[in-house]
Amino acid sequence: MSQPAPALSSFAELGLPDQLASALASQGIDNPFPIQSATLPDTLAGRDVLGRGRTGSGKTLAFALPLVARLAHLVPSGASIEARTRPGAPRALVLAPTRELANQILATVEPLARVAGLSVMTVFGGVSQSRQVQQLRRGADIVVATPGRLEDLMEQRHVRLDAVAVTVLDEADHMADLGFLPAVTRILAATPSGGQRMLFSATLDRGVDKLVKRFLSQPLVHSVDGAESPVAAMTHHVFLVGDAGTKREVVTTLASGTARRLLFTRTKHQARKLARELTASGIPAVELHGNLSQNARERGLAAFANGEVRVMVATDIAARGIHVDGVDLVVHVDPPAEHKAYLHRSGRTARAGQQGDVITLVLPEQRRDFQALARAAKISAQPSSVKAGDAQVVALAGRQADRVAVQDMPAAAASRNPDASAGVRGRGSAPRNSGSGRSGSGRSGSGRSGTGRSGSQKTGSGKSSGSGRRSAMTQVAPARPGGAARFSAQGSRGRRSGGRAA
């Protein structure tokens, strides 16, 4: 039965151990979000829980806190949780659909685990497994994994799940979208039936309900946001552009501001091309899509998260892996194929109670399809025809900085050469204007950066690696003044984005 979310309480009132509450308070996290208020009393008590809420609602901390508390025996945990971890036999497992999300979860869990004397690691494909095998042999208390690589290691007998007492399945609906449910089913079946299981998902379609019925024991259901409801703090804009040339100019203007902005394209080729065109015009940008190597994906995401680069161009496959605070503007350069993708893309902004703008660029031949998508997504924005120099375009490009507390940043010294083999090589933030000569805005902001917004609980600095050695729990991801960012946007062309390579 679905339980209504209670009024916001303090973490202590929800039963969180003082040790973990103090760790949160030291990071400026004092008040729980609704999903945390709703689930913590049950999860700390060891109950199975189904949490329904959109990304950005605080789900990661909602399961990280009880996972660490119960594993470290900071709350009554019962005899089912062993006191120590044996080599190759973790006591807790978190399954995530993408490598990026696994790293974001690591960044949230690791500071809490450190306080409690626990170890945590990630397991995912795209990198050598030898380091992961070594960490497992040393004995990792908590494993955050994608299904493909975890199954590989299970088949090679490097890891067994018979000691797992707490299992978390995060973004289960995205697991289904990527075709991971058969693997997830086999993995869950390998964990003890008496352990605690927490499943978080925005929807229960695509077979997720079967996982709930088979693996969760009398789960309490807590719903915070409906999967189809747009975020109230998100403002939607629909811009009609007359042709491809006008569209390029509008995109350049929108990308030229100082706050973080995320641009979505339909294909990997378009993402790569747009990122390099923007960089060549004086707007440093990184790309994120399935063809990049894991190292390139991590470097680009880290540069975007810590403020060294203000613009990221991504595809749908990467939409759920981007969990970065302070993304004030999402631009659908190409409208997505269906409304769920629109909501997932748009959910990269207006996270954790903050505000954000979402812009969709629509060519004449796309208008009919977008009208159907907007109805399904319950978006009622009034379309307007625009050009790059129009006041509303320029205002949206420039006003994002007004939402954030700024700090001085050096002027950018980005390379103007879009060498495909070298990728993007930039220093600092975006320049004070785009330098393209086409946008007509000349208003890229003051050159200042940083989020500085209060109330966000999103954790992680964007620097965490697969080794689990570097992470930080912060309320926001502030920009880092100075310093050069060197990273390559060139990745392997043949790497699979889904399946066992995840």
User: pLDDT by residue (tens digit) across 411-442?
Assistant: 333 332 333 323 333 333 333 333 333 333 33
The residues near 286 (Cβ < 8 Å, ≥ 6 apart) are 275, 300, 301, 303, 304, 309, 311, 312, 313, 424, 487, 489
Which CATH fold topology does 2-223 show?
Answer: Rossmann fold (3.40.50)
Q: Which residue has the higher pLDDT, 153 or 431?
A: 153
pLDDT at 321: 58
Average pLDDT over residues 147-176: 94
Which of 7-16, 131-140, 387-396, 418-427 shows the highest mean pLDDT? 131-140
- What is the pLDDT averaged over residues 343-367? 80
Q: Is the dihedral of CA 216, 221, 225, 226 positive or negative?
A: positive
Q: What is the dihedral of CA 113, 122, 136, 91, to 10 degrees?
A: 50
What distance in Å separates the CA atoms of residue 298 and residue 478, rounded to the nearest whole number?
18
Rounded distance between C-alpha atoms, residue 360 and residue 352, angstroms: 22
Q: Which CATH number fits domain 234-492: 3.40.50.150, 3.30.70.580, 3.40.50.1820, 3.40.50.300?
A: 3.40.50.300
CA-nearest of 321, 361, 320, 358 to 341 is 320
Check pLDDT > 50 for residue 404. no
Percentage of the chain beyond pLDDT 70 is: 71
Greatest distance between any 2 Cα atoms in the chain: 68
Instruction: Tell me which residue of 174, 203, 156 sits closest to 497, measured CA to CA.
Output: 174
Structure pTM? 0.60
For residue 231, how far is the Cα from the chain centroid?
A: 16
Distances (CA, A) of 208 to 170, 211, 273, 479: 11, 5, 36, 38
Q: Are 397 and 363 in contact (CB under 8 A)?
A: no
**In the predicted structure, residue 389 carries a pLDDT above the cut 50:** yes
Residue 279 predicted with pLDDT over 50: yes
Q: Is the pLDDT of residue 499 over 90?
A: no
User: Six-digit token pair at 472?
Assistant: 């930080």
Helix (H), strand (E) at residue 237: strand 234-240
pLDDT of residue 225: 57
Q: How confident is the model at residue 168 (pLDDT cuts 50, 70, 90)?
A: very high
CA distance 451 to 299: 20
Quick: pLDDT tens for 200-257: 887 777 688 889 999 999 999 987 754 444 444 678 899 999 999 999 999 999 998 7
Task: Write the CB contacts of 492 (distance below 8 Å, at least 6 apart in sequence).
Answer: 291, 292, 293
Q: Which of 84-88, 94-98, 282-286, 470-474 has the lowest mean pLDDT?
A: 470-474
Q: Where do the domains of the chain lie?
A: 2-223, 234-492
The percentage of the chain sitting over the pLDDT mark of 90, rounded to a whole number, equals 43
Please check whether the two domains, 2-223 and 234-492, share a CATH topology. Answer: yes
Average model confidence (pLDDT) across the chain: 76
Distance, C-alpha 287 to centroid of its chain: 15
Over residues 484-497, mean pLDDT: 34
Confidence bin at 56 (pLDDT 50/70/90): low
Q: Which residues, in sequence order, are CB contacts of 459 under 8 Å at separation 6+?
A: 27, 60, 61, 104, 107, 108, 111, 472, 473, 474, 475
